[in-house]
Amino acid sequence: MQYFSTRNQNHKQYPSEAILRGIAEDGGLYIPERFENFPMENLPKMTPKKISETVLSLLFGKDDMFREEGSLEAAISRAYEGKFDGEDYAPLAKVGNAYVMELYHGPTAAFKDVALQLLPQLLAQARTAREIDDEIVILTATSGDTGSAALHGFSDVPNTRIIVFYPKHGTSAVQERQMISCKGKNTCVVAVNGNFDDAQNGVKAIFKEAELPENVRLSSANSINIGRLAPQVAYYFKAYRDLLLADEICMGERVNFVVPTGNFGDILAGYFAMRMGLPVGRLLCASNRNNVLSDFFENGIYDRNRDFHVTNSPSMDILISSNLERLIAMICGTDACSKYMNDLKETGRYQLTADELSEIRKVFGAGFADDTETLRTIRAVYETERYLMDTHTAVAWNVYEQWKPMLTGKTVVLSTASAYKFSSSVLDAMGILYENEFDAIKKLKAKTGVTIPGGLADILEKEIVHQNVIEKNEMLTFVEDHIRGGDNK
Ligand SMILES: *Cc1c(COP(=O)(O)O)cnc(C)c1O
């Protein structure tokens, strides 16, 4: 199996190289040259672990990484065993007529744990496959959840360093504290005066421009890394299995998925699953007020020339959704994709042809919810169903409700964070007053009785160990200095 760049189909690499590099030399993202079929007939009998194993071996093959017998199984066990609250890493809850897939039971209480617990294992395999013993520096831009999940996943992993950049005023207090209290000796956390796109663009520029010592390599923990995306494909199959086992669907029946979307990674994993044979009806892309994606699915024009809004679902506050490039390349081909990405860079916008748009709209639909609608949804679902959701999940639920009259078959809404990660917004929804984020967590618990996730219970008492704040144009020099200095703080 080989991977190629979204901007040039002749630029091919082994999966291990794609994972190590994170991003292709031409600035494109890696996509698989083909999709192998998942053996659907075996799905009902598979354990969640077996599903992950099957997905990864289909996506990466076994002639590059995982050559050693049992290494894939071992990697998955190391990543997941004992890391999630409860037995099931992605339980389905029936809420009204739909199902909510709770992906937030990992160590940092957001769905990104699913991928970021596994990514260090994939990198270790990639290193073995390429016989590389350079130090790897993981660079990550985060709107909040990637940072803490990546810091958790990579903390004290040998021969690896991780530097996380986050927008100083763009994350929740809990998200920020999760990051700046991270104790791993190989971790570095930096606040940037700017928004998420500034941080992400800064990281992309560092990949292109950084001058580094010989034995140091950069890689990425963002969903531009194919190693981030692949583990997420598995839970779409798992949700389908759970619905089969609960007799909610018959084999072959199409299921819809509604996904709260930022960088377009999570929902793209659903598209990968579909290309591997999962019976998918619709993939619904849910955005907040930064609704560049819902406009795109409406009219085929991607236009980032608009105001950026800080919302109560901050992990989706993004105007450039990197992974959309992968979908564009798969639908339009790499030549067109390369042109569109150039348009985006030059003018901040690009426009698909009518045929390309209609191809995409066969599967994808979209919608958005603003802050007020998000809060109203949290309250309404809690009052009618006694089900507690965070702001991101509520955006998706709202879009589900907008689409309900048009959908056939069962629908799964992906829940991407624990409500406790965004306690103050959730209390705003319920009309309950609080003094600060810490107080908000306690009051939410008192109101709902829902268990506080393990990693959040004492979060605001944790000592702050990272205090870097820089301007957005200082990111490159910061990284070069940090690496040359060999200073880990
Ligand atoms: C990252 C994140 C998202 C968006 O996921 P993408 O893969 O970037 O589209 C949604 N919700 C939460 C809570 C997140 O942390």
| CB of 139 sitting under 6 A from ligand 1 | no
Best residue among 140, 148, 271, 392 to mutate for probing ligand 1's pocket (most ligand atoms within 8 Å of CB) is 392
Note the pLDDT of residue 488: 46
pLDDT digits (tens, 9 = 90+) for 383-415: 999 999 999 999 999 999 999 999 999 999 999
* pLDDT of 487 strictly over 60: no
Residues 425 and 312: their CA atoms lie apart, in Å, by 7
Distance 477 CA to ligand 1 centre (A): 29
Note the pLDDT of residue 473: 96
DSSP-derived pairing of the beta strands 280-287 and 364-368: parallel
Pick the residue with more confidence: 381 or 25? Answer: 381
Residue located nearest, by CA, to atom 2 of ligand 1: 315
| CB of 148 sitting under 6 A from ligand 1 | no
Of 88-102, 350-364, 450-464, least confident by mean pLDDT is: 450-464
| CB of 202 sitting under 6 A from ligand 1 | no
Residue-averaged pLDDT of the chain: 95
Note the pLDDT of residue 459: 86
Distance 262 CA to ligand 1 centre (A): 5
Residue located nearest, by CA, to atom 11 of ligand 1: 416
Note the pLDDT of residue 281: 98
Ligand 1 atom index nearest CA of 145: 15
pLDDT digits (tens, 9 = 90+) for 420-475: 999 999 999 999 999 988 899 999 999 999 999 988 888 878 999 999 999 999 99
Residues paired with 353 in a beta bridge: none
* pLDDT of 301 strictly over 70: yes
Band of residue 296 on the pLDDT scale cut at 50, 70, 90: very high
Tokens of 229: 């995306």
Note the pLDDT of residue 144: 81
Best residue among 228, 266, 292 to mutate for probing ligand 1's pocket (most ligand atoms within 8 Å of CB) is 266
Distance 63 CA to ligand 1 centre (A): 32
Best residue among 223, 263, 294, 378 to mutate for probing ligand 1's pocket (most ligand atoms within 8 Å of CB) is 263
| CB of 262 sitting under 6 A from ligand 1 | yes
pLDDT digits (tens, 9 = 90+) for 252-278: 999 999 999 999 999 999 999 999 999
| CB of 414 sitting under 6 A from ligand 1 | no
Note the pLDDT of residue 45: 98
Residues 424 and 434: their CA atoms lie apart, in Å, by 8
Band of residue 307 on the pLDDT scale cut at 50, 70, 90: very high
Pick the residue with more confidence: 460 or 115? Answer: 115
Distance 175 CA to ligand 1 centre (A): 13
Interval 220-231 mean pLDDT: 91
Band of residue 486 on the pLDDT scale cut at 50, 70, 90: low
| CB of 261 sitting under 6 A from ligand 1 | yes
Band of residue 220 on the pLDDT scale cut at 50, 70, 90: confident
* pLDDT of 222 strictly over 90: no
Ligand 1 atom index nearest CA of 416: 13
Distance 144 CA to ligand 1 centre (A): 9
DSSP-derived pairing of the beta strands 98-102 and 92-95: antiparallel
Note the pLDDT of residue 489: 43
Distance 359 CA to ligand 1 centre (A): 25
